[in-house]
């Protein structure tokens, strides 16, 4: 090699030895400026920075604009674009077959709050180990702009129709159902969403992120409560967030009175810096009340709404699955031994 | 009574009781007693969709000739239900026998038929006198009729006692109480009833190597032995006991001493979720199944299409019951055949496997996982309520020695050696492509599974040529399936008339063919379909016969329709004669014989 040819700098890798490209995906086919594309970038940052091996991730989705996004991140992870509203049960099945898989599920407000509400509810109840993202824009984009069940009362559609039905608050619902990690964020707020994403990845059980993500084509006009302008104006962050993974200790000491921290099952820590008022995200009843109070004031409360540090058993533990992925079990583990097999039949004589 | 007029080991007995009154245990004791006497026996439980209070019947076929299907004519009835007593007395055929509880006669009614023999027994008061334990009285009144029949029909007392001992092995007190009631019944009959009929049971040796079990239990055992590791289900009659048996077998045989399990079972929130979980598991490489019935299959429609298009192996056990809608949940039929084959919108076809009896309920369940994984497809195993929930005679099951056939799955090592892998590339020409599982630690292992149009490399595509090529390749699997699904069973002696049947209809076919021979000198060949798609043998059977009767247990002749869809040539379709049974009762030989002979009598042979 001649002296004047510069050696190309080696592409940086994360702690698992992957370059960032392994966490990216195909170019998005969503509308230019779509909030969902920002969420995709935050998802990529979360996995890349934490150094999760993408080969052991399964990314799943339902149907809708949001559900197209798994094609746009983690190219080296198996993906499954399932059926409208039915991603949670497919994810549960995949986890049953291989308990070593890390699951991320992307859904929309149509998936979660309407057609797939039953699945969402039961996924939370089972405490499936999954990062469950709701890309929430209050509108059906792929069918060109009908209200979804998360649209606020009084919000106006592009065509002028006013929503008169109360919205379904998926965060309140998740908390009531016993979800152990419930956060809300805004697609445009990387500083908030990336730590929440990392917290969700580090959580063991269902971690729900409701991310308000304005639809630039069908819900970004005046009168919509989910336009970029409306969301920015009403966004009230609960705290400033920092995430410290278990493999890196925080550089600065916790400042009592100003900061709180919560330790996640893998030893990682989420640190919350007080903003207007102190907020304790481990108080379940307070969390539900705080969301309701903010809503009454027309505020969109964002941040880590609720986290349970003494969490319920996640699904795999509850089902007492063996450590070996079930798909890898062969004749030796599956067959009833011959003498026992014959005994069963003799009992029926 | 002369020796020659005796009817030995040839009768039907029906017990009319009230649901939830504990008669099941008594009926099982009689069935097993006759079975252990070595006499061919076939029981059917005709029960209501109710837990307690509605009428229920249990019928036992006893036949020295080995006919085990339900007999249409009733020789004996045991009347224990006041609400149906009149109807039950009238249901016995002339010359038959009526045992009835004199304590429950409807007001103003006395049985007056002159063409039957009566054995009146005051069962209720007898129970009051003989069964001290008030709580057990309601149950044991049924054992009193076991005692009466033991005496009247010469059942072997020691055998019956042995059955009682085995039945209540874990509750010694119950053994004593049952034996006491049994003896009270025997003594009552000895002291008060004079034998007037000609029926008798005598020991035979026809049940060597057999055991008694129901199809759901056997399909569950087959699933365990077929390596099924994931089960997701939603309770529905008549399929629930299949999954419950699977749970019971795996509790015992699929966990270590500390409770760690080699199986994952979820009772899902609905049938949508149960099939979807199964598909998630199949996608991730596990052998997975669900069991349901018609209403559940209807709900699973959308996901059956995804399974077909995304090429995910999965097994659905459809234990058929009477529909449409809620229908008759506790009555049998074969009316989901068309639905199963064609489930979901768009272009699709699913292979179905149809066990014809107990051994096949086990064996087809076991191999269904091989079929599903080798085809990367959804496979239906079509049971029905009769097979799933009734007691069948089953031959000793051989211990499986063939390994699991896991189909085309690439490991990271194999992938490393493969230069140009495409998830939907048909490299072998059989329509089945190579897949990788999530969690395969290789940079090229991942692919994107979707229900939308895609290329051979699993990328999204709306190109007409991509769609058409893919859907045509999927169609190749229909032919490939013939390598894996069970062939028909053919009994062809070169006669002119042929009969095609499938599933539980088989149970009455030997008897029906004997009747046709006896009554009309008709020799009919017989082919039993065991799967769709159809093997060449089915077509050949049509070619070789002048007339072919196709027997369906549904109103619309669903198998007949499938055959017509498959064989459109007039020279074949002109030969089809359709025989249809659809009242919810397990099919009997007489119904088949009468239907076929009514055609035949109008035909030159």
The answer to whether the beta carbons of residues A299 and A253 sit under 8 Å apart is: no
A235 Cβ neighbours under 8 A, 6+ residues apart: A186, A189, A300, A302
Give me the pLDDT at residue A312, please: 86
Q: Chain centroid to CA B110: how far?
A: 39
What CATH code would you report for A20-320?
A: 3.40.50.970
DSSP secondary structure, B26-61, as one string: HHHHHHHHHHHTT--EEEEEE--SSSSSSEEEEEEE
Give me the pLDDT at residue B585, please: 97
pTM: 0.97
Using a CB–CB cutoff of 8 Å, tell me whether A313 touches chain B: no
pLDDT(A252) > 90: no
Cβ contact, residue pair B439, A98, below 8 Å: yes
pLDDT 10s digits, B391-414: 999 999 999 999 999 999 999 999
Q: b or e along B126-145 (b: 16 or more beta carbons within 10 Å of the residue's beta carbon)? A: bbeebbeeeebbebbbbbbb
Give me the pLDDT at residue B361, please: 98
pLDDT band at A181 (very low <50, low <70, confident <90, very high): very high
Q: CA–CA separation, B331 vs B344, rounded Å? A: 25
pLDDT band at B4 (very low <50, low <70, confident <90, very high): low
pLDDT 10s digits, A225-246: 999 999 999 999 999 999 999 9
Token pair of B37 as six digits:
């006497």
Token pair of A162 as six digits:
């006013």
Q: CA–CA separation, B169 vs B444, rounded Å? A: 59
Give me the pLDDT at residue B107, please: 93
Q: CA–CA separation, B268 vs B262, rounded Å? A: 19
Closest CA to A67 of B428, B451, B24, B552: B451
Q: What is the largest CA-CA distance in chain A?
A: 88
pLDDT band at A93 (very low <50, low <70, confident <90, very high): very high
Cis amide linkage into residue B324, ω under 30° from 0: yes
Sign of the C-alpha dihedral, residues B360, B305, B472, B377? negative
| Main-chain phi, psi angles of A86, to 5 degrees | -110, 15
Strand ordering across the sheet containing B352-353: B264-267, B230-233, B288-292, B314-320, B378-384, B352-353, B531-532
CA-based nearest distance B220→chain A, Å: 12
| Segment holding B341, helix H or strand E | helix B337-342
Interface of A with B in 53-72 (CB under 8 A): 53-56, 58, 70-71
Q: Which CATH class is domain B213-395?
A: alpha beta
C-alpha dihedral (B136, B142, B144, B145), degrees to nearest 10: 180
pLDDT 10s digits, B38-66: 999 999 999 999 888 899 999 999 999 99
Sign of the C-alpha dihedral, residues B63, B68, B74, B78? positive
CA-based nearest distance A31→chain B, Å: 17
pLDDT(B132) > 90: no
Q: CA–CA separation, B118 vs B113, rounded Å? A: 9
- Rounded average pLDDT over B545-557: 98
Token pair of B399 as six digits:
């211990």
Q: Which CATH class is domain B3-206?
A: alpha beta
Same fold, B3-206 and B213-395: no
C-alpha dihedral (B198, B199, B203, B204), degrees to nearest 10: 100
Q: Please report residues of B whose CB lies closer than 8 A to that of A329.
A: 227, 229, 262
Domain parsing of chain B, residue ranges = 3-206, 213-395, 412-483, 489-601
Mean pLDDT of chain B: 96
Cβ contact, residue pair A327, B285, below 8 Å: yes
- Rounded average pLDDT over B168-185: 95
Give me the pLDDT at residue B2, please: 45
| Main-chain phi, psi angles of B447, to 5 degrees | -145, 165
Q: Please report residues of A whose CB lies closer than 8 A to that of B227.
A: 329-331, 334-335
Closest CA to B309 of B172, B449, B138, B100: B449
What CATH code would you report for B489-601?
A: 3.40.50.920
Q: Please report residues of A whose CB lies closer than 8 A to that of B229.
A: 97, 326-327, 329, 334
Chain B residue with Cα closest to A337: B253
Angle at A136 between CA A148 and CA A126, to 5 degrees: 95
């Amino acid at each position: 090699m001649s002296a004047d040819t510069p050696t190309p700098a080696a592409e940086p890798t994360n702690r698992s030895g992957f370059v960032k490209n392994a966490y990216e995906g195909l170019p998005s086919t969503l509308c230019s400026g779509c909030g969902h594309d920002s969420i995709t970038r935050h998802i990529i940052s979360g996995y890349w920075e934490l150094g999760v091996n993408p080969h052991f991730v399964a990314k799943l989705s339902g149907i809708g604009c949001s559900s197209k996004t798994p094609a746009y991140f983690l190219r080296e992870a198996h993906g499954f674009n399932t059926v409208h509203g039915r991603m949670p049960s497919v994810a549960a099945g995949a986890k049953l077959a291989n308990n070593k898989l890390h699951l991320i599920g992307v859904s929309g407000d149509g998936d979660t709050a309407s057609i797939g509400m039953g699945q969402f509810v039961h996924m939370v109840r089972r405490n499936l180990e999954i990062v469950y993202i709701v890309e929430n824009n209050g509108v059906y984009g792929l069918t060109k702009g009908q209200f979804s069940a998360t649209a606020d009362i009084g919000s106006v559609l592009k065509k002028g129709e006013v929503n008169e039905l109360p919205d379904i608050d998926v965060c309140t619902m998740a908390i009531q159902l016993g979800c152990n990690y419930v956060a809300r964020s805004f697609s445009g707020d990387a500083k908030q969403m990336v730590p929440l994403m990392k917290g969700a990845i580090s959580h063991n059980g269902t971690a729900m992120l409701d991310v308000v993500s304005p639809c630039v084509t069908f819900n970004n006009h005046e009168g919509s409560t989910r336009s970029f302008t409306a969301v920015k104006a009403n966004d009230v962050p609960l705290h400033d967030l920092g995430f410290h993974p278990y493999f890196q200790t925080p550089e600065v000491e916790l400042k009592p009175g100003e900061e709180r921290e919560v330790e996640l099952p893998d030893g990682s820590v989420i640190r919350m810096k007080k903003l207007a008022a102190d907020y304790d995200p481990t108080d379940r009843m307070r969390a539900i009340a705080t969301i309701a109070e903010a809503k009454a004031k027309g505020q969109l409360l964002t941040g880590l709404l609720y986290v349970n540090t003494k969490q319920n058993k996640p699904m795999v533990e509850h089902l007492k699955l063996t450590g070996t992925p079930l798909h890898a079990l062969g004749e030796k583990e599956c067959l009833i031994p011959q003498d026992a097999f014959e005994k069963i039949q003799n009992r029926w004589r | 009574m002369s020796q020659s007029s005796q009817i030995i080991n040839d009768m039907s007995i029906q017990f009319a009781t009230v649901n939830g009154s504990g008669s099941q245990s008594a009926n099982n004791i009689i069935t097993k007693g006759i079975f252990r006497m070595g006499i061919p026996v076939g029981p059917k439980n005709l029960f209501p969709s109710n837990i307690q209070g509605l009428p229920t019947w249990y019928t036992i076929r006893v036949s020295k000739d080995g006919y085990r299907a339900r007999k249409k004519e009733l020789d004996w009835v045991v009347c224990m239900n006041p609400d149906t007593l009149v109807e039950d007395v009238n249901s016995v055929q002339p010359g038959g026998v009526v045992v009835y509880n004199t304590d429950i006669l409807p007001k103003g009614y006395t049985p007056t038929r002159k063409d039957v023999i009566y054995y009146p027994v005051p069962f209720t008061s007898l129970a009051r006198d003989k069964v001290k334990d008030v709580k057990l009285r309601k149950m044991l009144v049924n054992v009193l009729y076991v005692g009466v029949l033991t005496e009247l029909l010469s059942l072997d007392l020691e055998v019956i006692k042995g059955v009682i001992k085995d039945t209540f092995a874990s509750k010694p007190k119950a053994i004593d109480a049952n034996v006491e009631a049994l003896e009270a019944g025997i003594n009552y009959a000895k002291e008060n009833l004079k034998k007037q009929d000609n029926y008798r049971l005598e020991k035979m040796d026809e049940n060597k190597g057999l055991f008694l079990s129901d199809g759901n239990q056997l399909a569950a055992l087959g699933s365990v032995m077929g390596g099924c590791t994931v089960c997701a289900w939603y309770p529905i009659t008549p399929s629930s006991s299949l999954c419950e048996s699977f749970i019971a077998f795996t509790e015992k045989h699929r966990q270590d001493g500390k409770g760690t399990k080699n199986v994952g079972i979820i009772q899902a929130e609905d049938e949508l979720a149960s099939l979807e979980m199964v598909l998630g598991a199949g996608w991730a490489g596990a052998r997975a199944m669900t069991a349901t019935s018609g209403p559940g299959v209807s709900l699973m429609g959308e996901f059956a299409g995804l399974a077909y298009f995304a090429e995910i192996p999965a097994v659905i056990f459809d234990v058929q019951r009477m529909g449409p809608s809620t229908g008759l949940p506790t009555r049998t039929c074969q009316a989901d055949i068309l639905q199963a084959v064609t489930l979901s919108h768009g272009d699709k076809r699913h292979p179905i496997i149809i066990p014809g009896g107990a051994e096949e309920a086990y064996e087809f369940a076991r191999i269904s996982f091989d079929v599903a994984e080798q085809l990367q497809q959804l496979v239906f195993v079509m049971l029905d309520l009769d097979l799933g929930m009734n007691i069948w005679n089953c031959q000793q099951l051989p211990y499986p020695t063939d390994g699991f056939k896991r189909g085309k799955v690439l490991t990271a090592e194999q992938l490393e050696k493969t230069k140009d892998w495409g998830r939907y590339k048909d490299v072998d020409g059989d329509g089945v492509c190579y897949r990788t599982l999530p969690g395969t630690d290789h940079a090229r292992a991942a692919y994107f599974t979707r229900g939308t149009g895609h290329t051979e490399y699993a990328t999204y595509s709306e190109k007409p040529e991509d769609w058409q090529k893919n859907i045509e390749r999927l169609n190749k699997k229909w032919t490939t399936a013939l390598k894996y699904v069970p062939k028909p069973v053919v009994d062809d002696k070169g006669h002119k008339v042929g009969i095609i049947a499938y599933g539980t209809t088989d149970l009455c076919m030997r008897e029906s063919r004997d009747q046709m021979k006896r009554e009309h000198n008709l020799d009919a060949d017989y082919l039993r379909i065991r799967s769709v798609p159809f093997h060449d043998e089915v077509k050949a059977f049509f070619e070789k016969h002048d007339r072919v009767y196709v027997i369906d247990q549904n109103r619309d002749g669903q198998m007949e329709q499938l055959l017509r869809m498959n064989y459109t040539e007039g020279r074949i379709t002109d030969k089809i004669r359709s025989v249809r049974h659809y009242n919810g009762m397990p099919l009997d030989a007489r119904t088949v014989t009468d239907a076929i002979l009514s055609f035949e009598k109008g035909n030159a042979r």
